Amino acid sequence: MKRFLVLTLCLLGAAPEPQEKPAPASAHAGSLKQFLGKHCMDCHDADSKKGELDLSALAERMDSLDTFSMWVKIHDRVQGGEMPPAKKAQPSDGDRSSFLKALDLDLAAAISARQKRDGRAELRRLNRVELENTLKDLLGLPGLRIKESLPEDGKSHGFDRLASALDISFVHVDAYLSVLDKVFNDALCPFPEKPPVFTFRYKLFENNNHEGREADGWVGRAVKEGLAFGLIGMKRDETFRMEGPYKVIDDEPKSTALGIFRNEEADFRFDLNAIRPVVTGIHKLRVSGYSVAWDGKQIVPTPRHGAISFGVYSRNEHYGTVGLPPNKAAVAEVTAWCERGGTGAHGPDDHLKFVPASVDKLRGRLPGPAPGLAIEWVEIEGPIYEEWPPPSHRALFGDLPVKVWTREMGPLPRQQEWPFRHAGPFPKDIYGERGDKRPLVCVASSNPKADADRLLHHFLRRAFRRPVTDADLGIYRTLVAARMAKGEAFQDAMIAAYRMALASPEFLLLQEPPGRLTDHALAQRLSYFLWSSMPDEALFALADTGELGKPDVLRAQTERMLQDPKGKRFVENFLGEWLNLRDISATQPDTNLYPEFMPWHGEAMVLESQAYFSELLKNDLGVSRFVKSDFAMLNEPLAELYGIKDVHGWEIRKVSLPEGHPRAGGFLTQGGVLKVTANGTTTSPVKRGAFVMERIMGIVPTPPPPGAGSIEPDVRGAVTVRQQLDQHRANPVCAGCHQKMDGYGFALESYDVIGVFRDKYRAMGSGLDKIVNGRKVGYHLGLPVDCAGTLPDGRAFKDAVGIRNLLAANPERLAKAFIGQLLVYATGGELTFADRSAVDTIVQHASAKGQGIRTLVHEVIQSETFRNK
């Protein structure tokens, strides 16, 4: 031990300012030094540097968070009994505990001093999910979609909510500005009066295009390839055929539906060329249809429900999936915000499509039994506006009316730009292809100056999520006045001010002054936690009166917010990050090995985990349900995939499971988690083990050392991943960490890459005489799965059921991990050493109340950690 250790505190990147006194030396430096010198320096000095750790080089002062976290690591290794290693002389229990106690105090003192000064959480910008939601709620545009136009956010400590994951560059500012142009265009009110509702019903198999002379191109192609034909109920319509590539000929008796099958080379998405919204807004998309089966010669009844999805997939917009019953038609409906448009203006791909989600993966032309969908018609109805002018107008211009523009009203303001829309078969586009038959409109203000002041005040307060100052108001008022003086219309000048406000740091950055949060900052933190968006009027009002901070008021608001429809954003976004469910489509399961997997399964798996978490949250069920349960949330496709009988239809519902059932392992046995932790072809116990360790157990695995190498997956069936890994673990350098995480992964080896239970690995190559989804499977059964293992603490388990019992027996561990995840998500601050006692306190409070998930969410919100920056 060459140097004197001083535990002190310093800011990352900020040099200590000269007028500040040097931080006091550690109260316990002497005893720490003594312990390290006696037990650690043999291996961790400048010469040996075992594990790249040189304690003599560890900063005398803790000049960075890195140094600080190094000390935390030392603390944890000594505490866990890992260091000094077993083969070396061990410190006495007394030495060990007094070292830990001293280090504990120093670390806590250092971090709490830092937090007092700067807060736990760093200033950060809104991520793109939050930005989209905030603009939706601020401007009353429920269907706004801008996420895809913004640069992707990073991830730090598992979440997209930490400053370190949310950089800002000119690329962002540039993207914000162009997004805002779209947003304000969408927010303008295009008519003085509410537009009429248009309804159009379209039979896929009728000639609708080009004045009724042609059917959609894909119909012709599908018919030609034998993947679609006319149906009369449950019979093939023999008189249905194509003449040329586009024209459908159908003699008597006429078809009642189009039967759709497809193969894996066929286009997945089918154009709805004839269905083109006239005015942007909420629309109902309806479909009448049923699911059928084809046995190679004729249509036969099927027990299976079908599903169909709608969206504008070229823009990455998925509107929803609905189920269709077997053998007899029913109508299903999706409600979605649809933008005016259709073919032409945005390139060939930019219109509404549907995906027969339950139909997939047929090889060749309808060989054997194959699932199909019969579609009678598709209908669009809209735009549906409950009030007019629309909420977006009210958000910008309050009660000011929209009038038909006349010269006397001053300069003509910018009109809402409409995309080109082909006249097409839809009978009545009364506005012209470019909307040029619309009236010119204008927001009418008789007292622009007073109106501007009032509207700006209202808008800025909401946009900045805090009371508006005179200085704020001054900047924007000046801008409006200057623009109007230059001859700009009132409406345009106001939009320019709003646009600047929404590009400003006050809007884009989530500000929280250090120390205890003010009521407005608390409202903001609460709403971004539970709604991923800005506070609503009720929260604003409670913050204004200073009521929000009262524990019972805060509790009541939390309840209200969870029950609000926006509360589902918490479930979606928290699970999307915590369980990586956003990555559900990142890998495509190998079609030979996993022919069961259909496109709808991915979406259903996300719904499954969301519904499961919602169920726990709703009923305040305990954290042990994360790993062990007596029910699952399933729909028919999932139940079929998991081998559970008697679940019918697309809707997710609660299904009770007996003790020890393969699916009764909470999140650990849900398809979504199992899929995002695999690569589409093979599973890795390491990857899954690390996932469970970090996300469920709350222990962050150490990354592999450089050059650790990786395992070449082999799907020929000669060797299992476990056998390969055992070799890797024979290396003592690797064993240390792998011993801690692989156990969890081994237990999950019983589930393949799509979450199906297995006792043997599937190996590539034919051999199994089995047809799945209309094709012969491309695998045979290989080596058996060995899923026994031990937990880091040495407790052994035989299989997936064994491990779930062990994990569920320690709900406190699970609760701590979960609280940690919630805190990071809710505050945007990483979990530090100082938070450990806070987490313990929350667990204590919650234990008295039964430790349910909802209780834990409440306790997190009531905690000092949440209520301070």
Partner 1 sequence: MKNFTRRTFLRSAGIAVALPWLESLKPAWGAPAAEPPRRFVGLMTNQGIMPQFFFPTEAGKNYAATPYLEILKDFRDDMTVFSGVSLPGVDGGHAADMSFLTGAPGVGRGAFKNTVSLDQHAAELLGGDTRFPSLSLMIGNEPFSLSFTRNGSMIPPERDPLKLYQKLFAEDTPQAREAAKKRLKEDRSMLDNLSAQAKSLEGKVNPTDRDRVDQYLTSVRDLEKRLSKAEKWIDVPKPKTAAKAPPAGVIHSDLPALGKMILDLTRLALETDSTRFVTVPWQLASTTPNTIPGVNHNCHELTHHGNRPEKVSELRLIEESIFRTIADFLTGLRGVREQGGTLLSRTIVLMGTNMGSANAHSNDNLPAFLVGGGFKHAGHLAFDRKKNYPLSNVYVSILQRLGVQTDHFSSGTGTMRGLELA
Question: Which has the closest alpha carbon to 637: 269, 286, 301, 321?
Answer: 321
Using the rule CB under 8 A, give the single segment among 189-197, 281-289, 504-512, 551-559 that binds partner 1: 504-512
Q: Where are the beta strands (DSSP E) in 143-296?
A: 198-202, 228-232, 235-236, 240-243, 247-250, 257-260, 270-271, 281-294
- Residue 605 CA, chain-centre distance (Å), reads 13
CB of 291 to partner 1, least distance (A): 27
From candidates 108, 711, 768, 783, binder to partner 1 by CB under 8 A: 711
Would you say 654 and 562 are in contact if contact means Cβ atoms under 8 Å apart? Answer: no
**Measured from the CB atom, is 10 or 359 closer to partner 1?**
10
**504 touches partner 1 (CB under 8 A):** yes
Place of tokens 């077997």: 326
Minimum CB distance to partner 1 smaller for 707 or for 794: 707
Residue 733 binds partner 1, judged by CB under 8 A = no
Shortest distance, position 269 Cβ to partner 1, whole Å: 14
Closer Cβ to partner 1, 34 or 587, answer by number? 587
Residues 14-33 that bind partner 1 (CB under 8 A): 14
Distance (Å, rounded) from C-alpha 341 to C-alpha 418?
Answer: 8
Residue 656, helix vs strand vs coil:
strand
Asked if 809 touches partner 1 (CB under 8 A), the answer is no
What binding mask, one character per residue, do residues 754-783 give for partner 1 by CB under 8 A, x or -?
A: ----------x-------------------
The least CB distance from residue 545 to partner 1, in Å, is 25
Cα 309 to chain centroid distance, Å, stands at 19
**Structure token pair of residue 657:** 């499971």
Question: Judged by CB under 8 A, which stretch of 243-251, 497-505, 574-582, 599-607 contacts partner 1?
Answer: 497-505
Compute the distance between CA of residue 628 and CA of residue 635 in angstroms, rounded to an integer: 20
Shortest Å distance, C-beta 218 to partner 1? 15
One of 84, 91, 158, 567 touching partner 1 (CB under 8 A): 158
**365 Cβ partners below 8 Å, 6+ apart?**
225, 226, 227, 263
Q: Quote the CA–CA distance of 744 and 740 in Å, as a whole number.
A: 9
Question: Which of the residues 236 through 275 are near partner 1 (CB under 8 A)?
Answer: 265
Q: Which is nearer to partner 1, 348 or 427 (CB)?
A: 348
461-480 binders of partner 1 (CB under 8 A): 475, 479
Q: Closer to partner 1 at the Cβ: 173 or 541?
A: 173
Contact flag: residue 378 with partner 1 (CB under 8 A)? no
Query: Using CB under 8 A, which of 514, 549, 649, 660 touches partner 1?
Result: 514
Among 319-327, 548-556, 614-622, 711-719, the segment contacting partner 1 (CB under 8 A): 711-719
- Is 634 a binding residue for partner 1 by CB under 8 A? The answer is no
Please name the residue that has the structure tokens 């250790």: 5
Q: Does 591 bind partner 1 (CB under 8 A)?
A: yes
Q: How far is CA 549 from the centre of its chain?
A: 30
* Nearer Cβ to partner 1 (43/509): 509
Q: Tell me which of 347, 427, 658, 794 binds partner 1, using CB under 8 A.
A: 347
499 binds partner 1 (CB under 8 A): yes
Q: Classify burial at 489, counting beta carbons within 10 Å of its beta carbon; exposed 0-12, middle 13-18, buried 19 or more.
A: buried
Q: How many residues bind partner 1 (CB under 8 A)?
A: 70
Taking contact as CB under 8 A, which single stretch among the options 90-98, 542-550, 605-613, 673-681 is the one that binds partner 1?
673-681
The 10 Å CB-count burial string (b at 16+, else e) for 564-588 is: eebbebbbbbbbbbbbbbbebeebe
- Regarding 715 and contact with partner 1 (CB under 8 A), the answer is yes
Q: Does 583 bind partner 1 (CB under 8 A)?
A: no
Sign of the alpha-carbon torsion through 166, 168, 169, 171: positive
Q: Where are the alpha helices (DSSP H) in 564-691?
A: 568-578, 599-619, 636-642, 671-676, 685-691
- State the minimum distance, in angstroms, from the CB of residue 551 to partner 1: 27
Among 156, 185, 415, 805, binds partner 1 (CB under 8 A): 156
Closest to partner 1 by CB, 20 or 646: 20
Out of 163, 345, 409, 783, the residue judged to bind partner 1 by CB under 8 A:
163
Of 682, 683, 720, 863, the one binding partner 1 by CB under 8 A: 682
- Quick one: which segment of 269-277, 322-330, 705-713, 735-743 binds partner 1 (CB under 8 A)? 705-713
Residues 99-128 that bind partner 1 (CB under 8 A): 117-119, 122-125
The distance of closest approach from Cβ of residue 829 to partner 1 in the complex, given in angstroms and rounded to an integer, is 11
Q: Which of 33, 172, 241, 403 is the binder for partner 1 (CB under 8 A)?
A: 172
Q: Smallest gap, in angstroms, from Cβ of residue 70 to partner 1?
A: 15
Instruction: Please select the residue that binds partner 1; options are 27, 46, 57, 173, rule is CB under 8 A.
Output: 173
Nearest approach in angstroms of CB 512 to partner 1 is 9
Q: Does 703 bind partner 1 (CB under 8 A)?
A: yes
What distance in Å separates the CA atoms of residue 841 and residue 307, rounded to the nearest whole number? Answer: 47
Q: Cβ(7)–Cβ(111) under 8 Å?
A: no
Peptide bond before residue 253 is cis, with ω within 30 degrees of 0: yes
> Interface with partner 1 includes 417 (CB under 8 A)?
no
Which residue has 């903001």 as its token pair? Answer: 524
With 0-12 / 13-18 / 19 or more C-beta atoms within 10 angstroms meaning exposed / middle / buried, residue 605 is buried
- 453, 506, 536, 651: which one binds partner 1 (CB under 8 A): 506
User: How far from 778 is each of 367, 755, 764, 771, CA to CA, in Å?
Assistant: 16, 18, 6, 10
Among 29, 70, 168, 788, binds partner 1 (CB under 8 A): 168
The reply to whether 712 sits near partner 1 by the rule CB under 8 A is yes
Residue 25 to residues 16, 63, 71, 312, Cα–Cα distance (Å): 15, 13, 15, 63
If you search the block for the tokens 């070449």, which residue do you land on?
Answer: 712
User: CA–CA distance from 328 to each of 234, 291, 731 (Å)?
Assistant: 9, 8, 62
Give phi and psi for 114, each to the nearest 5.
-65, -45
Q: Which of 22, 244, 658, 709 lies at the binding interface for partner 1 (CB under 8 A)?
A: 709
Question: Binding to partner 1 by residue 335, rule CB under 8 A?
Answer: no
Who's near 859: CB < 8 A, 6+ residues apart? Answer: 819, 842, 845, 846, 849
Which of 60, 714, 786, 812 forms a contact with partner 1 (CB under 8 A)? 714
Count of other CB atoms within 10 angstroms of residue 658: 7
- Please tell me the number of Cα atoms within 13 Å of 302 on its side-chain side: 29
User: Quick one: which segment of 32-40, 433-441, 661-669, 699-707 binds partner 1 (CB under 8 A)?
Assistant: 699-707
Which of 82, 152, 251, 333 forms a contact with partner 1 (CB under 8 A)? Answer: 152
| DSSP-based three-state secondary structure for 428 | coil
In the complex, the smallest distance separating the C-beta of residue 498 from partner 1, rounded to whole angstroms, is 12
Question: 117 vs 224, which CB is nearer to partner 1?
Answer: 117
Does residue 201 contact residue 415 with C-beta atoms inside 8 Å?
no
In this structure, the dihedral spanned by the alpha carbons of residues 60, 63, 67 and 72, taken in order and rounded to 10 degrees, is 90
User: Minimum Å distance from CB 131 to partner 1?
Assistant: 14
Q: CB under 8 Å to 177, separation ≥6 — which residues?
A: 499, 503
Residues that bind partner 1 (CB under 8 A): 11-14, 117-119, 122-125, 151-152, 154-158, 163-165, 167-175, 177, 265, 347-349, 475, 479, 496, 499-500, 503-506, 508-509, 511, 514, 587-588, 590-591, 679-682, 700, 703-704, 706-707, 709-716, 764
